[in-house]
Amino acid sequence: MRYTYTGFHQHSGKQRSRISYICPEHGEQTQPLSSHLKGVGCPLCGRAKATQANRVGKEDALAKLARSSSPLRLLEETYAYGTAKASFICPHGHVTQKLPALLEYNPGCFKCSAKISQANRDIQTLLPGAELEGVLGPRFNVDVLLTPARLVVEHHGLIWHSDFYQKSPTYHRDRMLKIQALGYRYLQVFSDEWELRKEACTSIILRAAGLDTSPSVGARKTVACEVPPGEAAAFLDAHHIQGAPRDCTHAFGLACAGELCAVSTFTQGASNRIQLPPGYYELSRFATAGRVPGGFSKLLRYAVLRLGATALRTISDNRLFTGEVYRRWGFQRTAEIPIDYTYIDVTSPGKRRRHKANFQKARLAALLPGADMALPEQALTRQLGLYRVYDAGKVLWTWQA
């Protein structure tokens, strides 16, 4: 017998039953009976073994590091025996984690050797002091980190962020919630947005960072007006990340010295394809050219008056916006819109997201003659090389006169 048992202490109240025994090396010990029955022995012996194992583990990692001729240095103070990976630092100060056994095959620094996209480099250039491949926590890297502004910006390649690779529909939302829980604002820009609407993306990023230095025109210096549909569409294509909506019939703007500096559009055909009742409109777009302090409020008051609107609704995308401008104007956060998706064709050289309505069963029957239409939509679209790109959810905001 390993130990000489000296006593048993029956539980009383909230105290668990405990057992006493004499360890040959450390003398009398007392611990919970339940732990002892699970195989837990003398805690002092356990600490001594862990210390010895940790020392052997460090020596093993250091020996492998020396054999690999790697420029990395083991961060011994952060090394803990039993973890799958050890932390290393490179000559440029990057901390990376990897298995010591793999140093022979990959002795370099992940961050120094990793291919960083040009888009991420462009975003870093926009934000003085921002880090590429910033670190928010153990094994948690982000594309671009601007710590003073508590801002994280990530550029999402469509294939890498489709369900061709990302299997979880909640990946973008979960990552957003995790970063927000650390006290950072998180912007997620898809690659087609950056390619097609770079000016709008840039504006969103700079405003989130508090670094927008574009020309400013106070709303008091502007004149509210109705805007012809074609002119409104051209303005929104240039300044809104989604471009112009299909319907620009009800378009209003702010002009300064004869030049449009803000445009908003409204429709009674809601984005969820329902017809709104009389007096109820959806604000489908709002965009500015530069900064227009007070512009949103002035333009909405004018539009409500011209439309005779008694209620409004609008939607904010969690990837890019907080909806704070709506809240300040009196909108109520009415509902969380579930995660949605678009499609991309992974076989096409020009990767663009396409609305899921283009691939409903009725249309798929024409695109896939002879296919089994009893299969789920996702199985059918994959036969066309189409994969889903999920968003991070949206928020419905409503206003009543």
| Calpha distance 190→341 (Å, rounded) | 13
Contact present, 250 and 305 (Cβ < 8 Å): no
Structure token digits, residue 294:
């007070």
Contact present, 299 and 220 (Cβ < 8 Å): no
Q: Does residue 272 sit in helix, strand or coil?
A: coil
Q: Which of 317, 124, 293, 297 shows the shortest CA–CA distance to 206?
A: 124
**Interval 110-135 mean pLDDT:** 85
Structure token digits, residue 179:
């970063």
In this prediction, residue 82 carries a pLDDT of 46
**Interval 339-345 mean pLDDT:** 94
In this prediction, residue 46 carries a pLDDT of 72
Higher per-residue confidence, 66 vs 175: 175
Q: Strands of 55-183 (E only): list them.
A: 73-74, 86-89, 95-98, 131-137, 140-146, 151-156
Q: Which of 390, 384, 383, 396 shows the shortest CA–CA distance to 353?
A: 390
Structure token digits, residue 47:
């600490």
Q: Is 268 left (phi over 0), alpha (psi -120 to 50) or beta?
A: alpha
Q: Which of 103, 86, 101 shows the shortest CA–CA distance to 138?
A: 86
pLDDT tens-digit map of 144-153: 999 999 999 9
Higher per-residue confidence, 15 vs 218: 218
Residue type (1 letter), 300: L
| Calpha distance 191→353 (Å, rounded) | 10
In this prediction, residue 39 carries a pLDDT of 75
The most confident of the ranges 22-26, 271-275, 291-295, 376-380 is 291-295
pLDDT tens-digit map of 188-215: 999 999 999 999 999 999 999 999 999 9
Mean pLDDT of the chain: 86
Q: Grade residue 38 by pLDDT with cuts at 50, 70 and 90.
A: confident
CA 362, 364, 368, 371 dihedral sign is: negative
User: Tokens 């710590």 map to which residue?
Assistant: 147
pLDDT at residue 54 is higher than 50: no
118-209 in CATH: which number?
3.40.960.10
| Calpha distance 219→294 (Å, rounded) | 5
pLDDT tens-digit map of 227-256: 999 999 999 999 999 999 998 999 999 999
Q: Grade residue 291 by pLDDT with cuts at 50, 70 and 90.
A: very high
Q: Which residues of 339-350 are buried (b: 16+ CB within 10 A; e: fewer)?
A: bbbbbbbbeeee
In this prediction, residue 50 carries a pLDDT of 58
pTM above 0.75, yes or no: no
In this prediction, residue 105 carries a pLDDT of 56
Higher per-residue confidence, 94 vs 162: 162
pLDDT at residue 3 is higher than 90: no
Q: Grade residue 25 by pLDDT with cuts at 50, 70 and 90.
A: confident
| Calpha distance 18→33 (Å, rounded) | 5
Contact present, 153 and 117 (Cβ < 8 Å): no
**DSSP line for 2-44:** -SEEEEEE--BTTBPPEEEEEETTTEEEEEEHHHHHTT---HH
In this prediction, residue 102 carries a pLDDT of 58
CA torsion 321-323-326-331 (nearest 10°) is: 150
CB neighbours of 261 closer than 8 A, spacing ≥ 6? 217, 222, 253, 254, 255, 288, 289, 290, 292, 295
- Residue extents of the structural domains in the chain: 4-41, 45-113, 118-209, 216-279+287-301
The most confident of the ranges 25-29, 255-259, 377-381 is 255-259
The most confident of the ranges 4-13, 73-82, 134-143 is 134-143
Higher per-residue confidence, 73 vs 53: 73
pLDDT tens-digit map of 298-317: 999 999 999 999 999 999 99
pLDDT tens-digit map of 91-119: 777 777 766 655 655 666 766 666 678 89
CB neighbours of 371 closer than 8 A, spacing ≥ 6? 364, 365, 380, 383
